[in-house]
Structure 1
């Protein structure tokens, strides 16, 4: 009979530490990244956190491309510039002015970029037959694990979403079936804000719990 190890229980102090990490997770921009190299041990710790994420049907549908080469980063930065030029036209008046002033990525400034891909299975996946996007959500769980682990190591992470995923795939020579879920920038930083940067810059306000929690059913 297989021996089952005792379950791991956590203390109130450990819970409080996790809460601190959650509260102080930040999206770091390029104007705050340092060029200090990230030790391989820290990179491995972040990747192991990703591999510990939950996945639908234990499918683990993720792959990670580590990018340090500046030429590759520059090619990705070019699609960011193209998409930014398009995105700014979708905002009007004051919001457009604020958008132009924002620094929204750190592709070149961060010492390490990681492209995270969803790799769909050929056949049916347990738990994914009714909600096919569950595989992609699993990859997002892995990214969140990376973000929190990086923050616990005092390493900044920024998620760049203003990109053409197909152009990024071409730059990285990714297989056709792979889908880009996240393009992430990692590096030590000169500052972790105590509040989300976009909240500080009044781009939007933080929603309150009573605004988003519904009891039992929508009315």
Structure 2
């Protein structure tokens, strides 16, 4: 046992947040205290980033007209996605895919501008800035769950439309619309699993050893 290990209670709380985190679509209108929101964003800001570039930017949407226009953009893409799913179109349209009009806090998570200047760790893998932003979003998600708040990640939108709507720099890039707020309850399972859209894959099917599809024997 390493001396750096957390206590049993601390470790249990961490794993609980991981396993009980959900992509939420249903929210209550109760406001989120500014101090709590700041604490969650600070947790996001302490995520790891390649080359310590900290590429995340969070735009809080407080104007009602912008919230409505973002919702319209998402609805437009939702219908396009449904068409692209062909035989699953009707099934998809029955799903609730966002809580933009209901959540207390609405944010757009984006990659910063002038990203091409960050070379450390990105010369051969330029997408590592996206991986870094994803880590920040995950930090925010887990901290929100520990605080009893729900969060949903919405990716149904045309990035260029969102950039124009929010007057973002040309070389920035919106990645997620984040819905955050109080919820009546957390889903027992991921909502898409509850809706029989997909099932969690067995971990052993995703673990390889030494080569692709080489079955891992010791994990």
Aligned partner of 1:128 in structure 2 is: 122
Aligned partner of 2:142 in structure 1 is: 148
Q: CA deviation at 1:106?
A: 0.8
Aligned partner of 1:33 in structure 2 is: 27
Q: Does 1:111 align with 2:107?
A: no
CA distance in 2, matches of 1:215, 1:25: 29
Aligned partner of 2:18 in structure 1 is: 22
135, 152, 160: which one aligns with 1:158: 152
TM-score (norm 2): 0.91
Q: For this pair of structures, how many residues does the alignment match? A: 210
> Which range is displaced more, 122-131 or 57-66?
122-131
TM-score (norm 1): 0.91
| Runs (4+) off by over 4 Å | none
- Alpha-carbon spacing, 1:193–1:216, altered in 2? closer, same or farther (3 Å): same
Q: Is the 8 A contact 1:59 1:125 kept in 2?
A: no
Residues 23-75 of structure 1 deviation map (CA, whole Å, 9 limit, x = unaligned) = 0000111xx21110000011001100111000001111111101122211111
73, 78, 98: which one aligns with 2:72: 78
CA distance in 1, matches of 2:120, 2:209: 30
Q: Does 1:55 align with 2:35?
A: no
> Once superposed, what is the RMSD of the aligned Cα atoms?
1.4
Query: What are structure 1's unaligned runs of at least 5 residues?
Result: 1-6
CA distance in 1, matches of 2:110, 2:212: 35
Aligned partner of 2:93 in structure 1 is: 100
Q: Is the 8 A contact 2:44 2:139 kept in 1?
A: yes
Query: What are structure 2's unaligned runs of at least 5 residues?
Result: 214-219
CA distance in 1, matches of 2:207, 2:47: 25
CA distance in 2, matches of 1:139, 1:91: 28
CA distance in 1, matches of 2:124, 2:42: 29
Q: Does 1:11 align with 2:11?
A: no
Q: CA deviation at 1:98?
A: 1.4
Classify the secondary structure of the residue corresponding to 1:113: strand
Q: CA deviation at 1:215?
A: 1.7
Q: Is the 8 A contact 2:51 2:118 kept in 1?
A: no
Q: CA deviation at 1:8?
A: 5.8
